[in-house]
Amino acid sequence: MSKIDCRCCGRKLVYKSTSDLPFFPFCSERCKLIDLGKWVEEEHRIEEPLTPDRVDETDEPKGESET
């Protein structure tokens, strides 16, 4: 048996293997999402993510061919 503290709320978790914790290293999906949300927010501040919409926009070639 191993023990960890939930990375988000600090709750003590006991497990035999990490497969016992579907949300390892978090105690629950909620904590996982909270932590992930924090991380994603940080990323957003640094740079704008590529959205599928944007990829669609730039689908056409640039037309910079030299002949």
Contact positions vs Zn ion (CB under 5 A): 6, 8-9, 11, 27, 31
Rounded (10°) CA dihedral 45, 46, 52, 55 = 140
Separation of alpha carbons 21 and 29, rounded Å: 10
Residue 11 or 44 with smaller CB distance to Zn ion? 11
Residue 40 or 54 with smaller CB distance to Zn ion? 40
| Min separation Cβ 63 and Zn ion, Å | 53
| Min separation Cβ 26 and Zn ion, Å | 5
| Min separation Cβ 27 and Zn ion, Å | 4
The DSSP annotation for 36-61 comes to: HHHHHHHHHHH-PPPPHHHHHHTTS-
